[in-house]
Structure 1
Amino acid sequence: MKDYAIGIDIGTTSAKVVLFDESGEVTAYHSKSYPLLAEEPGAAEQNPDEIYEAVVHSLKETVKKSGDKADRIGFLSFSTAMHTLIAVDDNGAPLTNSFTWADTRSEPFVMEAKENGLADDIYTCTGVPVHPMTPLFKLMWLKHESPDIFQKAAKFVGIKDYILFRWFGDWKTDYASAAATGLWNLTSLQWDEKLMNMANVTIEKLPEIKPATYYWESLSEEIGKGCGLGPEVKVVIGSTDGPLSNLGVGAISPGDVAVTIGTSGAIRTTTPEPILDPEGRTFCYPLTENHWVSGGPVNNGGLAFQWVHDLLEEKKNEKDSYEMLSKLAEKSPAGAEGLLFLPHLTGERAPLWDAQAKGSFIGLTLRHEKDDLLRAVLEGTILNLFDVYNLVKTQTAAEAEIKIFATGGFTQSAIWKQILADVFQKEVSIPENTESSCLGAVLLGRYAVGLTSQLHEVKEETKQYETIQPNKENREVYQELFRLYQALSQALKPNYKGLNEFQNKHKKESGQ
C-alpha cells in the first residue's frame, strides 16, 4: 500500500525533506543547509546548484532512513520559498545565482513605481505589495545592471522551477510561485501582458503556469535510482511555503490565523476568494483556485532575538544560551518598564513595506537593565506582527471567532509564546508537527492525487499538542503599549530614508 508520502521544502537557509505516514506523523527526516551570499550591499543570493544538490541529498538520506517504508511512498510534493529569480540559458544552465526575497538592490525601481503612480495598479493586478523582494523589480534591476546576461537569458525562473526542470526537462511553475513574481494576474490566473512589458520579458521567457495540484506521473529512472525510489512515485508541483504552512497547521477555514516566527515571520489567513488591502499593505496568494492566503511577512523575527543574543550574551557557544536569555527576560514585567523596541533591523516588509526602515529602542532610562532590553526585543517582534494582524483580521471572520495557530523556532521560548498570547489576547495553539510547510505539501499532494476529495478534509490530521492561554491582567498594558508602538513607528517613518543615506555615507570600513 502506497500510504506514505514525502514533503520537500526548499527554504531560504536549508532544504528539508520529511517522510509522513498516512496520519501525518513524521517517520523520517533530513535537511541540508546552504549559504546566503551577500558580496555587496543589498545582495542576498544563493547558488542554485548547491540548493539542487541539497534537495537531492536530503531526499536520498530521508529515503534511506525510512528503511522498509521506501516501497510504500506514493508521491513527493514540493514547498518553496517565495520571490526567487534565476536567469538560465537555452540549456537550462544558470546565468545568475538565485536572487532571494531578501535581495534589495532593485529598491530604486520600486521607488520609481511608487513615485509615478504605478504601485497601486501593480498591487491591484497581482496582490503582491510593491517591494524589492518581487522578481518584477529584480528583472528591471538585472536588465539595468547586467544587460548582457538579461539579453542572453532564455528563461527567468524560480528555484523550485529550476529543480523540477532538472528532474523532468520542462519549465513549469505553480500558481503561488507565479503570483509571487509580481508578473501574474490574480483574475486571469495567467502572466499579465502589461507587467511583462514593464519587465521587458515575453511569455516565452517564463515557465508555464500550473495549478498546485498538477503532478508528474513518475520519477525519471536516474532520480528514482539515485534516491532509492521506484519510477511509479508521483511528483506534485505543490505551492509556496506560506500557503502550505497554513494548510499544515490546519488554518484554512475562515477565522483561522497562522503566525510563524522563524528567522523572519509572517501572519496569514485563508479565504475562499482573493482579498486585497485598500492601501496595498497585505499580500494575497493562491493555494488553489478556491483557497486564497492573505497576510503579511515581516523581515525581523528570530533574527532580532539572535542579534540581541549575540550582543549581550558572552557565552555564545553554549547550547542553552538562548534559553538562559529567555529566562532572564521573564524577570522584566509586561511592557519592559516602558521600553519599546521597533524590530526593523533589516528594513521591513509588512506593515511598512520600507526596505530602508531601521530598528530602535525607545524609552531607555538609567533604570533599564539587561532583562528589560531582552523582553523589549521579544515584545517588539510580537507588536510588529500584531500590527499586521490588525490588517488581516478585517479580512476574515468576526473577532470572537478568530483562532491563532503558531509555528516556528520561537515556540521553543516559553515567554515568547506567552507574549504572543497576551498581546493578541487569544488562545494560541501550537501544532505537534513543526514542519508545517512540508506537512502542508503532503496534505495538498493527497488532495492532488485523489486520496481525499476536498482539501479541508485533511485539516483534522494536524494535531494540537499545546495551548497557551492569554493573561487577562496584561490586556490593558499591551493595549496601551501597542498604541505607543504604532504612533512611534509612524513618527519615525519619514526619517528612515535620511538615516539610511547617512549610514551609507558614514559607515565604517570592514574590519574596523
Structure 2
Amino acid sequence: MTDIFLGIDIGTTAIKFGAIAQGKTIFYHRVPLKTYNEDGGVRYQKASEILALIQNELQTLPISLRKRVAKISFSVAMHSCMPVVDGKFEQVFIWSDTQSMEEITVFKQTSDAERFYQKTGTPIHEMTPFAKILYFQKRRMYPEKTKWLGLKELIMGFFTGISAIDLSTASATGLLNLPTRQWDTEILAYLGIEQEQLGQLVAPTTPFLIKRELADKLNFLPGVQVFAGASDGCLAAYGGYLANGLSASLTIGTSAAVRQITKTPSFDWQRQNFCYYLTENVYVIGAPSNNGGKVLEWASQIFADEPMQFYEKIPDYLAQSSVGAKGLRFSPYVNGERAPLWKANQKAEFKGLTIHHHKAEMVRAVLEGLLFNVKRLHEMVKAPRTLAISGGFFESTVLCQLTADILGADCWLAGENEPIYGLYGLINQVTPKQSIADLQKWSANQEKQAEFQQIFQTYFD
C-alpha cells in the first residue's frame, strides 16, 4: 500500500522532514543546517552538506515506511543562488548574503529598477539572485558560462536528474516575468546571461519519477512521483489558509511577515511588497521584516540577567506602563530591515528617552515599535482586519492582545503554517477549511486601538 506523502523543507537553519498519510502526520523530524558567515556579507550553505543530511535522514526512516511513500515534494527557502562551474558546485548563497548591497543600491537609482520590479513582483534588494548575479558578473568572479541555480534545482537534480525550478520559487528570483511565467529576456540580457544558464521552469505540481538508482539506494519504490513544490514563504501562507480558511496571515518568529493569498497580483513600487506565484490564479503577496522575535532576543540580553526572566516578566512590564510608553519611541531595526525600507544597514534607535523613563517604558517601547512596524507591513499588503497569527511571539497571550490592539484586527491563533503542510495540500489538492470556530481569537480593545492609531500616525516620522 503506497499512500504516504513525504515533504522535505530546506530552510535557513534546518531541514525538516514530514510524512503524511490521509491528512495525518505520521513522522516529523528536524535536523539543523549550518550557515557559513564570512567577511563582506558572505552567507552561504554547502550543497554537499545539504545532500548528505537528506540522504542520512531518509536512511534512518523505517524501511516499511519508505516502501509506502508514493509522492515526494520540496519546500525551499527563497532567494538562493548556487554558481555551477563545469558541473561543479558547493556554495549556495542564501537570502541573508549581502555582498551585493552597494551594487543594488546603485541599481535602485536607475530607471530599470521600477520596471524590473513591476515585471517580476520581486523587491529590488540584495537578498535576490538578481542582485547576487549582478554583483558576481560586474566583478567577473565566475566564468562566462556559469550556470546560476539554487536550492530547488539542487534537490530536484538529486532526486530526478533534472535541474528544475518551480514557478513559485522562480518568481522570487527577480528573473521571472510574472505575466508570461518565463525567464525575462530583458533582465537576463541586462545581467549578460542566457536562459540555458538557469534552471528548467516547471509548474509546482508537475510530476517526475524518482531516479531508479536513488530509489534502490534509499529503498523507495521505483514509481515514486517527485514534485518540485514551491517556496517556503508561499507554502507557509498556503498551509495556514488550508488549515483555517483565512487568506491573510501574520507570522512572527525570528523574523516577521504579513502574507495574503489572492487571485490578483498586486504591486507597490514605493514600498515594494512581494508578489509571488503559487499556482494558476493563486498568488501570495506580502511584506517581510528582519525584526520579529530577534528584537525580543536582543531586548532580553539588555534588560534581564536571564533571558527567560525577561519573557516571563513581559506582562508585568506592560501592566506597569501605559500606552505610548510616555512618548518613548523605538525603531526596531536591530537586524537591518527589508520591507518597507529595504535597507540592510538600517539602525535601531530610541527616540525621546528621558530620565523619567524606566525599564517598563523601555520594554513597552520595544514591543510597540516592533508591532507598529508590523502594522506598516499589514497596511502594505492591504490585508483584511481578520488574520491568522502564528509563531513563537504569540506564545504570550498579552502579546496576542497587544497585536490585535495595535493592528486593529481580529487575530486568530493558528498553528499549522509549516511549509510541509502547504506542500501536502498543494500536491494533493486539499480544499480550505470552512470554519475557524475552534481557534482562539483576540479582538482589538476599541479604546486602546484608537490610542495606538493616533500614535501610529507620526510614530516613524
Taking structure 2 as the reference length, what is the TM-score of the superposition? 0.92
- Match for residue 31 of structure 1? 30
Three-state SS of the structure 1 residue aligned to 2:111 is coil
- Match for residue 14 of structure 2? 14
Three-state SS of the structure 1 residue aligned to 2:452 is helix
- Match for residue 491 of structure 1? none
For the 8 Å contact 1:248–1:462, the answer to whether it is kept is no
CA distance in 2, matches of 1:458, 1:150: 47
Three-state SS of the structure 1 residue aligned to 2:457 is helix
**Number of equivalent positions:** 460
- Match for residue 151 of structure 1? 144
For the 8 Å contact 2:159–2:210, the answer to whether it is kept is no
C-alpha displacement at 1:187, in angstroms?
1.3
- Match for residue 336 of structure 2? 347
- Match for residue 171 of structure 2? 179
- Match for residue 326 of structure 1? 314
Which one of 75, 80, 99 corresponds to residue 84 of structure 1? 80
- Match for residue 414 of structure 1? 397
CA distance in 1, matches of 2:306, 2:21: 40
For the 8 Å contact 2:8–2:18, the answer to whether it is kept is yes
C-alpha displacement at 1:358, in angstroms?
1.1
CA distance in 1, matches of 2:326, 2:57: 46
For the 8 Å contact 1:126–1:183, the answer to whether it is kept is yes
C-alpha displacement at 1:476, in angstroms?
1.6
CA distance in 2, matches of 1:173, 1:463: 38
- Match for residue 131 of structure 1? 125
Alignment of 1:62-461 (within 5 A): 63-64=61-62, 69-91=65-87, 93-94=88-89, 97-145=91-139, 147-151=140-144, 153=146, 155-218=147-210, 220-223=212-215, 225-226=217-218, 228-250=219-241, 256-279=247-270, 281-316=272-307, 320-321=308-309, 323-331=311-319, 332-393=321-382, 399=384, 402-433=385-416, 435-447=417-429, 457-460=431-434
C-alpha displacement at 1:376, in angstroms?
2.2
Query: CA distance change for structure 1 residues 162 and 69 in 2, over 3 Å: closer, same or farther?
Result: closer
Q: Which amino acid aligns with 1:19?
A: A
C-alpha displacement at 1:460, in angstroms?
4.9
Query: CA distance change for structure 1 residues 138 and 384 in 2, over 3 Å: closer, same or farther?
Result: same
Query: CA distance change for structure 1 residues 403 and 202 in 2, over 3 Å: closer, same or farther?
Result: same
Three-state SS of the structure 1 residue aligned to 2:276 is strand
CA distance in 1, matches of 2:19, 2:185: 40
Q: Which amino acid aligns with 1:380?
A: G
Query: Can you list the C-alpha shifts for 1:407-465, whole angstroms capped at 9, x where unaligned?
Result: 222122223222211111222112243x5211001111112xxxx5xxxx244599954
Query: Can you list the C-alpha shifts for 1:347-400, whole angstroms capped at 9, x where unaligned?
Result: 21111122221111122222322233223222222211110111211xx6xx5x
Query: CA distance change for structure 1 residues 21 and 411 in 2, over 3 Å: closer, same or farther?
Result: farther
C-alpha displacement at 1:133, in angstroms?
0.9
C-alpha displacement at 1:473, in angstroms?
3.0
Percent identity, aligned pairs only, is 31
C-alpha displacement at 1:296, in angstroms?
0.8
C-alpha displacement at 1:188, in angstroms?
0.9
Q: CA RMSD in A?
A: 2.5
Query: CA distance change for structure 1 residues 210 and 279 in 2, over 3 Å: closer, same or farther?
Result: same
Query: Can you list the C-alpha shifts for 1:156-178, whole angstroms capped at 9, x where unaligned?
Result: 11112112212222210011211
For the 8 Å contact 2:390–2:415, the answer to whether it is kept is no
For the 8 Å contact 2:240–2:246, the answer to whether it is kept is no
C-alpha displacement at 1:325, in angstroms?
4.3
- Match for residue 54 of structure 1? 53
Taking structure 1 as the reference length, what is the TM-score of the superposition? 0.83
Which one of 479, 496, 509 corresponds to residue 453 of structure 2? 479
Moved over 6 A (4+): 251-255
For the 8 Å contact 1:143–1:150, the answer to whether it is kept is no
Query: CA distance change for structure 1 residues 251 and 443 in 2, over 3 Å: closer, same or farther?
Result: closer
> Where is the helix percentage greater, Structure 1 or Structure 2?
1
For the 8 Å contact 1:137–1:199, the answer to whether it is kept is no
Q: Which runs of 5+ in 2 are unaligned?
A: none
Query: CA distance change for structure 1 residues 208 and 253 in 2, over 3 Å: closer, same or farther?
Result: farther
Q: Which amino acid aligns with 1:419?
A: L
Q: Which amino acid aligns with 1:481?
A: I
